[in-house]
Amino acid sequence: MNRDVTPTTYIRRLDLSTLRRLADFLDPDDRWRDVVVSIRKPSGEPRYTQLHVRRFASLAEQGKSPTIELLTNWGTANATVGELVDILKSNKLMAPAALLLPGVSPTSASPSPSSSSSLAAAAASSSASSNVTGYLSFSYQELVHITGNFDDRPTSEGGNRLGEGGFGTVYKGFVDHKPVAVKKLSPEEDILVMELRRQFQQEIQTLKTLKHQNLVDMVGFSCDGDYPCLVYVYMANGSVLDRLACMDESPPLSWSRRCLIATGSARGLDYLHTNHHVHRDIKSGNILLDDNFVAKISDFGLTRASATRSSATVLTERIVGTRAYMAPEALRGEITPKSDVFSFGVVLLEILSGLPPVDESRDTPCLMELRYDIDDEDEDLTLADFLDKKMSDIDMAQAERTYSVACNCLNDRKARRPTIKQVLSELEDVSGF
């Protein structure tokens, strides 16, 4: 994008490349409609009627962009970038606003990026600029530099690749000598660029709105290159999935530490549900551990916010998530907090057993189905057999109660599952944390 763009630049002066990138953010889910109804005449009356809106909408059926047509039309009235950015900000469309004006400050107070880390404050003195989201806006070339050109060799082999994240690859980098994790989003076979942009914006908005000690801390992002990128505070102990598998020769997690991780994860999920958000992809790979093994939920690209009460169920045509963790209703396209509870039940089984969610070499490949063997008196598998033998401080009574909580979470009928608040209360009672 032309770096000479300022708040007084006329929209009609924006190049086609910039308009297309704005469309990548605004065409999905018809977010351009939020913009069009906010555009006013000098008299204060709406500039566009419902007839105009229907005409813009019809362009999508022709394979054209309603966003580009809207901005081209509005540009003829000498509308400015500053006016557009104000409208984007008022509708919480932060990523496209930052695309236009990376260096502007928010018009209203917004939560700080992280109360648990000083990294964002330290990074403010770097070449990255603060922007309308309250996060740092990095250029793509800056991220190329700090990740060694996105060195795909694993960190254990001297490279910078940390692993796979939601819809992208995560790399280690340094900002002002402090480690960060950079997730480079990239299209997959069944994920369109437009959908990727929507998830990019969703993650920024979720982490801007929600702050909790058991959610990951975001530092900034980049949206000016070939791939949108998200920058997070580095989690020194990786994911729960990797630590349970003792990857990179890490020592086994003790039972007491597993209890802390389970309880912390439940607190983060309870915070999401209390604030009317459904994560939709809870799994051990999306629960990260900082240098003190504090659990932090990550990957919010699929998160769905609800304007109504947190127990509401929404239907979607697109089935998303990780199948080994998905509740029966999630496979039918239902979006409900109880689906997160089901997924968390699988995580609890992983914490208890140290086993991965799926292993084709097992007689019963799917971990969640092993509970049927444990509960069946005709089967040889017992809970004691199921527990991870690498734990040296196992408390059998606590393990039995945790297993019971997991089974309640995994009830096929969502109405019979506990809420995450009930799960959290039970886990706190079990562990005393």
Q: What angle do CA 408, 374, 376 make, to 5 degrees?
A: 100
| Residue located via tokens 């009627």 | 49
207 Cβ contact list (under 8 Å, min separation 6): 215, 216, 218, 300
Q: Which helix (H) or strand (E) holds 297?
A: strand 295-297
- Out of 24, 224, 242, 281, the active site residue is 281
C-beta of residue 253 within 8 angstroms of C-beta of residue 260? no
C-beta of residue 320 within 8 angstroms of C-beta of residue 210? no
| CB contact burial 188-213 (16+ within 10 A = b; e otherwise) | eeeeeeebbbbbbbbbbbbbbebbbb
DSSP label of 164:
E
**Catalytic residue flag (residue 373):** no
Q: What is the largest CA-CA distance in the chain?
A: 78
- Number of DSSP helices (H) and strands (E) in the chain, helices first: 16, 13
Q: Which helix (H) or strand (E) holds 202?
A: helix 193-209
Q: Where are the alpha helices (DSSP H) in 255-359?
A: 255-274, 337-353
Identify the bridge partners of residue 334 per DSSP, sorted by sequence position: 315
| Residue located via tokens 């409208």 | 87
The tally of CA atoms less than 13 A away on the side-chain side of residue 227 is 20
CA R_g for the chain: 23
Provide the token pair at 274. 């209390």
Provide the token pair at 374. 């444990």
Query: So which residues are the catalytic ones?
Result: 281
